Amino acid sequence: MKRHGNLYSQIINFENLLLAARKAQKGKRYRENVLVFNFHLESELLQLQTELLHQTYQPQSYRTFQIHEPKSRLISAAPYRDRVVHHALCNIIAPLIESSFIPDSYSNRIGYGTHRAIRRFTHFVRSSEYVFQCDIQKYFPSIDRQILKNILRQKLKCPQTLWLIDLIIDNSNDQIPVFDYFTGDDLLNPITRHRGLPIGNLTSQFFANVYLNNFDHFVKEQLKIKKYIRYVDDFAFFSNSRSELYQVRHTIEKYLASLRLKIHPIKSQIFTTKQGANFLGFRIFPTHIRVRSNNLRIGKRRIRLLRQAVFIGKISAPVAYLTILSWFAHLAHGDTWKLRSNLLFV
């Protein structure tokens, strides 16, 4: 297994930091903190470069808030200058590690987004009788930071880069408490082990994929499962044999325990594909694809809020139109022509 070194000079290179700032500001360039940073862009980046070079850089505190759609989650927003560092790091290490990802691992990968995942999932549904659909219980809060660091050290050997990665991981803010016991644990293990990555960081999204990468290879190379797909912590196995999937469940639960993870006891089920399977906002059947009712409810509410925002002058009609058009493009991946026509009159 190749381990990559001599990366840090590329990470802290001024051109890479400038590229990172451009990426970090996408969709946020008119926010006050971004405007202030960009007003002194060169001096801010030079200051960051100096701190990184001398390893005096220290992440600042997160801003946290709750979202409740589609489910309740704690979101952590890092300060803008820290997000620039996250992008600078991922610009260099992501292409090196991502080359080891299996083709059916999706999310936060160029060319491997939601719609490609839906097409692949649909193909498996239409060519299989049964599906075993899994969901990791409290995935981001459960990620064991030391295990994650060990996995990253299987890929990277640059000391300064590993210092920066450790710094970002160790400065993750507190997440939802998870107290799961695994074989070999003593009474204090679930309390003393440091766990959890903040949802909202670019690095967290990338590290979440890395954390399950060896599991993906175990499924494909050891279990020899041909029909398998993963989107972050939502993954599925397909087969024409229900008994085979029961055996798969037993085996993967043991493997995931080595990562101190557990599958959700209710959401992880084996059932026939003709019943339809929920995946990325759609309910996918062998013969057709529907939008999930809760996603439709959320979408209708957003359309109403956009119309109100246009009416009071908060946003322009063209901006609202582009937002709706983007959602309609997503809906177009299901059998939704009539639905989209009706939604125009919500």
pLDDT in tens, 157-202: 999 999 999 999 999 988 888 888 898 888 888 888 899 999 889 9
Identify the residue with better confidence: 285 or 335.
285
Cα–Cα nearest to 259, from 170, 136, 84: 136
Cα–Cα nearest to 163, from 151, 153, 155, 172: 153
Strand partners, 279: 282
The predicted structure's pLDDT at residue 317 = 81
Q: How many angstroms separate the CA atoms of 278 and 208, rounded? A: 21
Q: What is the DSSP string of 199-234?
A: BT-HHHHHHHHHHTHHHHHIIIIIS--SSEEEETTE
pTM of the model: 0.87
The predicted structure's pLDDT at residue 338 = 66
Edge-first strand listing for the sheet containing 234-239: 105-106, 228-231, 234-239, 130-135, 269-272
For residue 292, the Cα-to-chain-centroid distance in whole angstroms is 21
The predicted structure's pLDDT at residue 43 = 96
pLDDT in tens, 119-158: 999 999 999 999 999 999 999 999 999 999 999 999 999 9
Report DSSP state, residue 275: G
Q: How many angstroms separate the CA atoms of 342 and 291, rounded? A: 14
